[in-house]
Amino acid sequence: MQQPKRTALAAITLAAAVVGAGWALTGAAAPAASKAAAKPAAVEKDATIREIEKYREALGDGNPAELWEARGEDLWKKKRGPNNVSLEQCDIGVGPGKVKGAYAVLPKYFADTDKVEDLETRLVSCMVMLQGFKYEQAKKNPFGGPDVKSDIEALVAYVTGQSRGVKMNVALSHPKEKEAFEIGKKMFNHRGGPHDFACATCHGSDNQRIRLQDLPNLSKTEAAQRAYTSWPAYRVSQGELRSFQWRLFDCFRQQRFPELEFTSAGSVALTMYLARNANGGVFNAPSIKR
């Protein structure tokens, strides 16, 4: 009973490959025709990219992410939880209470939890250790919606905003950091799910696009720098600020993979791989996206 589905999927995959390669399946003349059309197609692509960039620049004026940053700063300084303390003594990578430039060194190993943590995971740890929240309470509602806003996303907006203009500098000095990077690399390239996809299917090759969206090759430094340093971002289409953990969660959803658990070791490892690849890039977020 599954054969028609597999056949249809194979046909779709083949068709996509044919279109992507520029072949018309008309014999030996096809490559020549493809080469002849390549230059106009490249010009058209460049023009499209320029128009998209103009659109993004226009959106950048008065980025609504500033509202999340302001709320996040209030949450950072507000006394909350059973212990009635603020997060101002939370060490998120550059010392207790320091936020300037902290996001640029994450993920990293923290001795007090004996694990590698990204920003979201570290915030949850601090809410547990300092403020006295239960773990499930601290990680509840990681992604906001129209009716309920996420405290985590607001805190992420505030902390990341303090690293604007700072170069990414994620270290692999601890054995667990190196381990996380290698696990993340394997996850990035692992194929699975009903479509036999991997992160690398969309983001492991040059010159890929879905509709009008260019797909950066995240295995290469320059592309990884541009992509990673633009998250978190305010999504115009959703009216919400979205964290990098959400970006990974949504990519898994689109691949029809099992749900990526918020702050799981796997999510942190994948973030480590992508963040390390972006080293040297100047952080410029929260940004704004369609």
193 belongs to a structural domain: no
For position 96, which CATH number holds? 1.10.760.10
Q: Kindly name the residue from 90, 126, 202, 251 that is annotated as catalytic.
A: 251
Task: Provide the b/e sequence for 37-48 (b: ≥16 CB within 10 Å).
Answer: eeeeeeeeeeee
Calpha distance 44→63 (Å, rounded): 29
**Which tokens sit at 175?**
């054995």
Q: What pTM, to 2 d.p., does this model score? A: 0.79
- pLDDT recorded at residue 208: 72
83 belongs to a structural domain: yes
- pLDDT recorded at residue 132: 99
Could you tell me the sign of the dihedral formed by the alpha carbons of 166, 168, 174, 176, in that order? Answer: positive
**Which tokens sit at 225?**
């720098």
Average confidence (pLDDT) per 10 residues, the chain, 290 residues: 38 34 34 49 60 63 91 98 98 96 98 98 99 97 91 98 98 99 95 81 73 78 94 93 93 86 96 98 94
Distance of CA 98 to the CA centre of its chain: 23
**138 and 255 in contact (C-beta within 8 Å)?**
no
22 belongs to a structural domain: no
Q: Is the link from the previous residue into 4 a cis peptide, with omega within 30 of 0?
A: no
Q: Is the link from the previous residue into 216 a cis peptide, with omega within 30 of 0?
A: no
Strand positions, DSSP E, the chain: 108-110, 115-117, 208-210, 213-215, 233-235, 240-242, 287-289
284 belongs to a structural domain: no
Could you tell me the sign of the dihedral formed by the alpha carbons of 130, 284, 153, 242, in that order? Answer: negative
128 belongs to a structural domain: yes
- pLDDT recorded at residue 39: 55
- pLDDT recorded at residue 290: 80
**107 and 118 in contact (C-beta within 8 Å)?**
yes
Q: Where are the alpha helices (DSSP H) in 134-287?
A: 135-138, 151-161, 175-189, 199-203, 221-228, 244-254, 265-277
Which of 166, 91, 174 has its CA nearest to residue 129?
91
Calpha distance 20→104 (Å, rounded): 36
The bridge status of strand 108-110 relative to strand 213-215 is unpaired
112 belongs to a structural domain: yes
CA distances from 200 to 102, 146, 184, 229, 245 (A): 28, 32, 12, 19, 18
84 belongs to a structural domain: yes
Q: Is the link from the previous residue into 232 a cis peptide, with omega within 30 of 0?
A: yes
Range of the domain at 114: 65-161
**Which tokens sit at 258?**
């099992």
34 belongs to a structural domain: no
Residue 251 among the catalytic residues:
yes
**257 and 78 in contact (C-beta within 8 Å)?**
no
For the chain, what is the domain count?
A: 1
